Amino acid sequence: MRRGWSERDPARILITGCSSGIGRALCTELSGRGHHVIATAREQADWPAEPPMAARLELDVTDADSIAAAAEAAGPVDVLINNAGVTAWAPLEVMPIDTAHRVFDTNVWGTLRMARALLPGMRARRRGRLINISSAALRGYPLLGLYAASKTALETLSETMRLELAGSGVDVVLAEPAAVVTSFGANRMPVEVTGAPYRDLTDRAFRFLQSMRGVTLSAQEAAEAIADLVHRDDPPLRVPIGPDGARLVAQRRTVGDEEFERSVLDGLGDPEPVDRLGNPPRDHS
């Protein structure tokens, strides 16, 4: 039995990426449930002013020294919520490699660095939980390939770590939200896309991605569902967050590659692709 925590048995919870969005909402939600929240952000000016926290620490998940200092200042941590993340939207052929490195360094290696810093204490106490914020949309949607690839890597690392920690008293859970109303998309790393063929594709892909959105969650709604994972006994590896998250997760299991490809191309308004010999589509009139 991997027990959760409660108001009567509060957890000491460190959350990364608390400057805005889900991270900030998690600080409010979990503190309101009686837990001892350690809010972290890259810049001191980004602290949430309310509610009162157990601690507010500067933390850059891409910097080993910053992580070591934050881990020492935090003291014993029961639950680590790896929420810090970045994104960049662009066709992969024109995505700057240094931007790709930044996305993976934050979303994948940052999560692993944090786990390595806090897991020894959890294992020593025979109780702990890592909640890694992933995504429900883990297929190759145009423009989102880099972000989806980073979250797919995070999912595999999380599954592996969960198995490696079996019997230690520490578990790993993936929270998989879909669209959430935050500044995350607006704050994505800028990538300039100019010229044919990708300028037109980028415009069409933006429209398609907007049309895909179902029931969009507020940051508070997402935070409430993620906070429930702190309380839950024996949580499964993957937990969809919200109805749209559940829909997309189900589609990953039920919609095959050919159906997925056709639906995306139809949504983009793409012409029929050339055949394997490079011939253009025939005129069927």
Please report, for the domain that includes residue 120, its CATH number. Answer: 3.40.50.720
Q: What is the C-alpha to C-alpha distance for residues 63 and 69, in angstroms, rounded to an integer?
A: 10
- For 169-194, how does the pLDDT look when each residue is reduced to its tens digit (9 = 90+)? 999 999 999 888 654 455 577 687 87
Return the higher-pLDDT residue of 44 and 235.
235
Residue 261 covered by a domain:
no
Q: From the candidates 31, 135, 150, 151, which is the catalytic residue?
A: 151
19 is catalytic: yes
Q: Select which of 31, 135, 141, 147 is catalytic.
A: 147
Domain presence at residue 264: no
* pLDDT, greater one: 276 or 180: 180
Mean pLDDT of 81-98: 93
**Per the domain annotation, does 143 fall within a domain?**
yes
Q: How high does pLDDT run on average in the chain?
A: 89
Q: Does the active-site annotation cover 20? A: no
- What distance in Å separates the CA atoms of residue 198 and residue 192, rounded to the nearest whole number? 11
Number of domains the chain is built from: 1
Does a structural domain hold residue 90? yes
Residue 49 lies in a domain: yes
Q: pLDDT digits over 231-243, tens only?
A: 999 999 999 999 9
How do residues 103-154 score in pLDDT, each as one tens digit? Answer: 999 999 999 999 999 999 999 999 999 999 999 989 999 999 999 999 999 9
185 part of a folded domain: yes
Which entry of 31, 134, 135, 150 is annotated as an active-site residue?
Answer: 134
Residue 18 counted as domain residue: yes
Which pLDDT belongs to residue 105?
Answer: 97
Q: Is the pTM of this model over 0.75?
A: yes
